Structure 1
Amino acid sequence: MELTGFLSGAKEFISSILAVLIFLSSSFGIVNPPVEPFVPENIVEEVDNSPKMTLIDTGASAYVIVKGAAASPSENTAALKLRAYLQQISGVELPIVTDAAPAAEKEIIVGRTNREGAGYTVDRAALGDEGFIIKTVGAKLVIAGGEKRGTLYGVFDFLEKFLDCAWLSADTTIVPEKATVCIPAAIDEYETPAFMFRQPSLCKPETTFSADYALANKANGIAYSVESEELGGMLPYYMGHNAALIMPESVYFADHPEYYALNEDGVRTTENPCMSNPAVIKIFTDYAVDLVTNNPGLQCFQISLNDSGEYCRCDACEAIYAEEGGVTTGTLVRMLNAIADQVAAINPECKIITLAYACSVDATITPVRDNIIVYFCPISMCYAHPLETDTYDESVKLRKQFDDWSKICKNIFIFEYPVIYDMYPHPYPIWDAMQPNIQYYLKNGATGLYVDSNASCDANFLCMTSWLYAKLLWDPYEDMDALMSRFMRLYFGDGWQYIKEYTRMISVECNGKTIAGIQTHMKCFDLNQPGLMAMTKNQITYCDELWAKAKSLAKEDWQLNNLRSCEISWRSWKACHFYGEFSRFQAPSVWTASNQKLFEDLTSLGLTQFDPGNDYVTLEEFDKLDLKYLYPQYWTWRQLGKDMQGKADNLGDIIWGWITDIEI
């Protein structure tokens, strides 16, 4: 173990030195090979000559929408949504009738109706709550599926797949106008989800409050979007660090310090509980039993350790760790199993959610009860390379931990970390590894995935990444390149190929490279980690030109706004590393003006946080303190010094506070 640790540290040290050398050589132009200009591909759209069925013809239609007389609330919504979008597309409002009406030749059948059995059947047991079929039967079109969300998903899938609609973010929806609405005469689609729980949103304001976005992208876990029964409802399988809420130190610690973890110094600490203590087990059990008893129909609740790596080292806990193979998760799993048995006796459908994280990341020997969901949290893995094949030490370790959990746990969810937490706007090109990782999770037993982020605007392709997650969580084997191209073409407009080349550049050319035989890696922490965006001057100029060309081709203001928003990540990276217009090898008036413009833009575009819980200063504070002389990491009070907020009058006060460490 000592030799392994030494070698790992040596590799990290050498790669860090190499990264510094790359930075210096590229900054001074020592290593600066030319980059060929980008030439967009001449894409010729294929002509579809297959037989067609006309639903609406230049302002008229013989079709009616048929729903069941006893349609579920979400099926009623599906019929209404279909009519509304067909009207938006064509200007024609189709009538909605129930299946009590006599069957007609031209019908669009939505959901469960008495028309089933006449040319088609719907196997709802196989489709479950969310699967659906889209099928043509003679002159009829059938969209039907699971009565909770399946039919709704089918309607939106039909609109996207056959009528070219797209829901890319909360405020970017594509609904093309067509006087004549035609579809293929022969449609036979059958779809069910790969993952049971899907929360793909990185950028909450862009997705959270749009029901149609969540429905169109089949995201059943975006909070506040589709909670009502009419919208199919959401799956509330959310997690959290809540041991301190269940057993507050203000209530218990003074009188019962033995309820809390004994640390390595032999001192009781409130960072986590001692879960071998019978009194602690009773507190947690009573909490769970009361919650389930008083909330009939409760789908799930959380019991997880606090956000800490501290674990109890008392003799009783250590004995359980030893029995469980030396892993400190042992006491948690044993306690949860005992609680799960009592919960199952009250409500067999209710799930307990916990986190495989920090001191509870290792799987136990004891299997986990079937009514427990374990969120596996791969926080330290490399996101530049696929987890299944990556050689990075942390990825190798996490891969084994995940494999171990898959052997003892029926319900494994993934808590994904697809942003860099040191700086939300910083480029973080995960797209090469995203699909292989999702496929790996699926084939090793994962049934849900939650994407973690709270970014306030699309400063880093977050809407695209969210959209890609949504598509791949439904079908992990979709064509990734085609998905990215479709999103960019619709979201950015005519210059989309320039942006796709930029994403290729930062993903393939400049990320996770092998330098002097040492492969560099990209983690969700550490803004300046080796291997993350190692670029030469010519590559930087090349990327600047890609952005400029794409913006010049934007025909719509909203397309230009999407481009400007995503470009914030590129500009922020340059500002943090003193590249291009932010280089210190030019007059201060030039790079300070660039800093000023960057801050004004990120403020106007709605970016409020530098990293989690770390808000940017206001524009007035930025100007008052002359923060244009500092780089973006110092545009927040956490970095400037919270004790100086409201007290500092200028940059000199800030610097003096740093030097003296004394409040002003």
Structure 2
Amino acid sequence: MRLRIWLCLIVSSVASLATTPVLTISKDNQIPIVLPDNPTESERYAASELKHHLHGMLKIKPRILLYGKRDMTPAIHIGLTELAKRNIPGCQSLGSEEWVVKTAENCLILAGGRPRGSLYAVYEFLESVGVVWPSPAIEHMPVLNEITVAPCDLRGKPAFVSREVYSGFSRPTPELRKWQVRNKLNTPSDLSPAMGGSFHSGRPGSCHTFWQYAKDEWPDEWFSMTEDGRRVRSLGGDGPGQFCLTNPELRKAMIERLREFIELDRQESEPDFWPVIYDISQNDSEDNIYCKCPGCRALAEAEGSYSGPMLDFINAIANGIAADYPEIYVRTFAYSWTLDAPRTIKAAPNVIVQICKLGCEFFPNGKADTLFPNVHPRNKNYHDNFIKWSEICGNMAVWDYWVIYTKPFQPPYLSALNIREDLRFYRDRNVKFLFAECEYNSTSSFADFKLWYGLKLMQNPDSSYDELALRFCQAYYGPAAKLMKEYMDYLQERENAADVSIGAATIFEMPHTNAKCANVKNILPYLDEQFFEKVNFLLAEAENLTQRYPQYLNNVRKERVPVDACLVNNPASVTADLYQRYADNSRFRTEICYGPINPYVYRPEVVQNTLDSLEKKEKILFDADFAVPSRFAGREVVLYDCTKVSGKIIYDDDAYKGKAALLREVDKPGYHLLPLSMGVRNKLHRKDICRFTYDAGQIPQDEKYHWFNLGKCSLQETAYLWVHWSTFLRCGIDNAMLAGSEWEVFVSVKVTGKPYVNHSTAKTQILVDRIILAR
């Protein structure tokens, strides 16, 4: 195959109209790669990346030379060689990620600002000749006879300064980091100087950092006060406590803590890689234990939101370091209880406000509809609030969500066109820092596409959806590209036509029960019979086309998992054959994402947990001999074992099947208190449906498991059972509504140690091994 490159890259550019080739790269013309005489590590890495891909496409191994040792033949110049400097006006002022692709003096120049510009120029060139990196496991390189380069003069840079799509892949393997850098994700803190370094946050972390600023010796008065006057400390990223934001002594201590973190960072890296953003943001506490002291409450009431005390707090810290560190920004959240903009307080010039498009599945704090664009009527509240924030803050960041949470499984959805519209919205309103959550890679629709596509749009939100989707499908699905692109388009067509809020919708996982589940359609309205008929046809045809190509076939099979997840959780449709297909593909997809099949992330515990879950699912669906505990003989029951509870699973000989969920162990005063409380709560409205407290005299003293009866409950959507005031032990129980809403609720709890058990010498612990709903 012969390829002539116009280098029509996806950027604003000025290109020559001439068509006379400048140079041709082939086996017969293996032109060298030339570097500056003193290249940076990133420029050397860029040359190795270009050589690697030219070998993959043309089966050549070009020489890599320093400028002073070059010959005078045509060459590819990487970085600001003397030839590049002569031909790029203003080259010394290029931004850190600004790149140039230009022909001059019979050479191709791939250069840019330091540290990442020249590396990005190489990737722009490679993508223009058909290279695609659709996932960490795939390098797609076309096989070519030659590459012919026509005259060009192109320049660009990513639309957003900071770009991150959080995939949930936590293991930083070389394959994962290569994929991220090639697609210009620039935030992982461990990116080496060779890979261009990273635009990451400084110590102690990138979000929910209150607890990391706190010191054990800090007085209780510096932490948030509850309605009843108690002070609750920060124990972790999920709280439960926050800070007392108006306390003047705390503000002084926070300034000193920030200075400590800045200096530690500067001791460990070169100036080019010093962090310039430091995060100080609220803990992710679901119960909103923000400070109710008179000072914080008064400022919140005056500003109409707790964002008032928060922004005043952050401004004080930012002003406290501005003189000594004028280049540093302090970032905080507009999130949850600080989401709404304050009435009068404005952000200091060195403050970044990161607004979160928190989905309506987290109502009342989340009000946005994640899968609809910002300009849609469903998102008027978020849109108007964003505009208010942008009027009082000159440095806006966004924490976006491209996934739906709080669902027991991921139904088919994509919303790629809406993502593009939102990124244009943010770009046009001067947002410079963009983060998006996009997890559930082993279970959601087109997961790899969404990650890749999102990073492409962060570089240029004006990119064509159709062009990007087709490019991805050809690299990822091979001969089934057209069919899989048709499925992508059809899925979004059905989503948009239905105009339904997936976040606010309720879908249930089938419960483990001996009761007959209602014959209801436990799926979203657009996922109707017509949808499944068409999609199963497209997937079957795609599987047929890829039978001889295992990699492409495997990628097609992944898309069956979210489709079949809906069907096996629908009482009206589940069959043994359907379940077997779902189980096989779920196992396979989990191993692809987390197992040794895939070199870029290996988490064996995730694979095993999935296998265990599938085994339990099979029993739930097909076990006719459902074992009812003797205490509940003759009754209909729904059973939840400890694996459904949020605590740490440990082995315990006393527990049901030898395992129990253990309450998080926190060695802080006031964590274990009497009375012991537990109940059932509506997560959506943050209200208890029922609540019970137990003093020492009501708690069994034998340190064994006992059933606690929480009484009869009328279950509501989003209901969960909780044990301990922190609610760190919890279990969703609303899927029992598939078999009816009226149940008597029991939880099997073991309590050891003081203050719960008088005269005990055992370690203080709370464990749950089972939850039973009975009637």
Q: Is the 8 A contact 1:67 1:109 kept in 2?
A: yes
RCO higher in 1 or 2 (8 Å CA, sep ≥ 6)?
A: 1
Task: Report the residue type matching 1:277 in the other structure.
Answer: N
- For residue 747 of structure 2, the aligned residue among 650, 661, 664 is 661
CA deviation after TM superposition for structure 1 residue 221, in Å: 1.7
Encode CA deviations 1:570-603: one digit per residue, 9 max, x unaligned.
2222223346xxx14x6xx445545543553344
Please name the residue that 2:24 is paired with. Answer: 55
Indicate which of 575, 580, 605 corresponds to 2:592: 605
In structure 2, what is the Cα distance between the partners aligned to 1:540 and 1:626? 22
**Structure 1 position 565, deviation (Å):** 2.0
Is residue 169 of structure 2 the alignment partner of residue 204 of structure 1?
A: yes
Q: What does residue 262 of structure 2 align with?
A: 292
Amino acid at match of 2:470: S
Q: Does 614-623 or 411-420 show the bigger shift? A: 614-623
Q: CA 1:532/1:410 → structure 2, altered by over 3 Å: closer, same or farther?
A: farther
Shift of 1:205: 6.4
Q: 1:54 to 1:264 in 2, by over 3 A?
A: same
Distance 1:436 1:177 in 2: 35
Aligned position for 2:418: 433
CA distance in 1, matches of 2:40, 2:5: 39
SS in 2 for 1:116: helix
- 1:236 equivalenced with 2:192 (yes/no): no
Which of 370, 375, 386 is the matching residue for 2:373?
386
Residue deviations 1:348-385 (CA, integer Å, cap 9, x gap):
22232211111111223222223222221111222332
Secondary structure of the corresponding residue to residue 320 of structure 2:
helix
Asked if residue 70 in structure 1 is aligned to residue 38 in structure 2, the reply is: yes
Q: Report the 3-state secondary structure (helix = DSSP H, G, I; strand = E; otherwise coil) of the residue aligned with 1:280.
A: helix
One-letter amino acid of the structure 1 residue matched with residue 501 of structure 2: H
Q: Which runs of 5+ in 1 are unaligned?
A: 1-44, 651-655
CA contact (8 A) 2:246 2:295 kept: yes
Q: What is the 5 A alignment of 1:141-152?
A: 141-152=108-119
Partner of 1:216: 182
Where does residue 171 of structure 1 map in the other structure? 137
Is 1:133 equivalent to 2:100 in the alignment? yes
CA distance in 2: counterparts of 1:459 and 1:182, whole angstroms:
38
Work out which of the residue numbers 509, 523, 547 in structure 1 matches 2:503: 523
Over residues 605-660 of structure 1, what are the superposed CA-to-partner deviations in whole Å (9 max), with x where a residue is unaligned? 34699xxx9997353575478535289x999955378699765459xxxxx99974
Q: CA shift at 1:523, angstroms?
A: 2.8
How far apart, in 2, do the equivalents of 1:339 and 1:523 lie?
Answer: 36
The answer to whether the aligner puts 1:307 opposite 2:289 as a matched pair is no
Q: 1:114 aligns with which of 72, 82, 88?
A: 82
Amino acid corresponding to residue 194 of structure 2 in structure 1: E
Deviation sequence 1:217-271 (CA, Å, 0-9, x none)? 11112454xx2111110111362112123225x644xxx4433323344544442
Partner residue of 2:682?
A: none
What is the SS of the residue equivalent to 2:374?
coil
Structure-2 separation of matches of 1:291 and 1:232: 23
Show CA shifts across 1:178-212 (max 9, x none): 2x322332222211111100112425269974343
Show CA shifts across 1:78-114 (max 9, x none): 1222122212322222222222246624121111111
Q: Name 2:270's counterpart in structure 1.
A: none
Contact map agreement 1:241 1:305 (CA 8 A) in 2? yes
Taking structure 1 as reference, are residues 292 and 649 closer, same or farther at Cα in structure 2, changes over 3 Å only? Answer: closer
- 2:696 corresponds in structure 1 to none
Residue-by-residue CA offset, 1:511-557 (whole Å, 9 max, x unaligned): 2545xxxx522338855699945232132111111111111111421
Partner of 1:368, secondary structure, is coil
1:409 aligns with 2:393: yes
Identity value in percent: 22
2:77–2:84 contact (8 Å) kept in structure 1: no
Per-residue CA deviations over 1:48-98 (Å, capped at 9, x if unaligned) read 9955455333x2225222111022221122122212221232222222222
Of 293, 308, 328, the residue aligned with 1:330 is 308
Cα distance in 2, alignment partners of residues 622 and 62 from structure 1: 54
Q: Which amino acid aligns with 2:350?
A: N
Change (3 A) 1:74 1:470: same
Contact 2:371–2:402 (CA<8 Å) still a contact in 1? no
Larger fraction in helix: 1
Structure 1, 203-212 or 63-72: larger mean CA deviation: 203-212
Distance 2:60 2:457 in 1: 34
Aligned match of 1:501: 486
Change (3 A) 1:544 1:62: closer
The CA distance in 1 between the partners of 2:112 and 2:194, in whole Å, is 15
CA change 1:644–1:71 in 2 (3 A) is: closer
Q: CA 1:618/1:115 → structure 2, altered by over 3 Å: closer, same or farther?
A: closer
Q: Residue type of the partner of 2:488? A: T
Query: Pick from 51, 62, 65: which aligns with 1:83?
Result: 51
Distance 1:542 1:636 in 2: 37
Q: What is the aligned-residue RMSD (CA, Å)?
A: 3.6
473-482 or 350-359, which deviates more? 350-359
Compared CA separation, residues 638 and 649, structure 1 to 2 (3 A): closer
What is the letter of the counterpart of residue 188 of structure 1? D
Q: Offset of 1:409 from its aligned partner?
A: 1.8
Question: Does structure 1 residue 258 correspond to structure 2 residue 237?
Answer: no
User: AA paired with 1:372?
Assistant: V
TM-superposed deviation, 1:288: 1.1
Where in structure 2 are the equivalents of 1:521-600 lying within 5 Å?
Answer: 521-523=501-503, 527=507, 532=524, 534-554=526-546, 555-578=548-571, 583-584=573-574, 589-590=576-577, 592-594=579-581, 596-600=583-587
User: How far off its partner does 1:430 sit?
Assistant: 1.9
Equivalent position SS for 2:534: helix
Q: Is the 8 Å Cα contact of residues 441 and 448 (structure 2) preserved in structure 1?
A: no
Question: Is the CA contact 2:33–2:62 (under 8 Å) kept in the aligned structure 1?
Answer: yes
**Aligned residues of 1:203 and 1:458 also touching (Cα < 8 A):** no
Inter-partner Cα distance in structure 2 for 1:78 and 1:288 = 35
TM-score normalised by the chain length of structure 2: 0.69
Residues 403-427 of structure 1: CA distance to partner in whole angstroms, max 9, x if unpaired?
1121122221111111122356432
Other structure's SS at 1:617 match: helix
Whole-Å separation in 2 of the counterparts to 1:77 and 1:643 = 43
Alignment of 1:475-514 (within 5 A): 475-509=460-494, 511-513=495-497
Deviation at 1:144, TM superposition (A): 0.9
Q: Which shows bigger deviation, 362-371 or 538-547?
A: 362-371
Q: Distance in 2 between matches of 1:316 and 1:607?
A: 49
CA contact (8 A) 1:468 1:483 kept: yes
Match for residue 435 of structure 2 among 431, 450, 458: 450
2:641 & 2:557 partners in 1: Cα distance? 22
Quickly say closer, same or farther: Cα 1:221–1:278, change in 2 above 3 A: same
Residue number among 351, 359, 363 corresponding to 2:329 in the alignment = 351
Q: Tell me the CA shift for residue 155 of structure 1.
A: 0.5
| Equivalent residue number for residue 278 of structure 1 | 248
Contact residue 5 and residue 149 of structure 2 kept, 8 A: no
- Per-residue deviation at 1:486? 1.0
Give the structure 1 partner of residue 353 of structure 2.
374
Residue 52 of structure 1 contacts residue 182 of structure 1 at CA under 8 Å; is this kept in 2? no
Secondary structure in 1 matching 2:82: coil
Secondary structure at the aligned position of 1:289 is classed as helix
- Deviation digits for residues 90-140 of structure 1 (CA, Å, limit 9, x no counterpart): 22222222222466241211111111355x214346630111111122521
User: Contact 2:96 / 2:116 at 8 angstroms: preserved in 1?
Assistant: yes
Q: Could you tell me how far apart the structure 2 residues matched to 1:625 and 1:65 are?
A: 57
CA 1:160–1:459: 2 relative to 1, 3 Å? same
SS at match of 2:434: strand
SS of 1:522's equivalent in the other structure is coil
Q: 1:637 to 1:175 in 2, by over 3 A?
A: farther
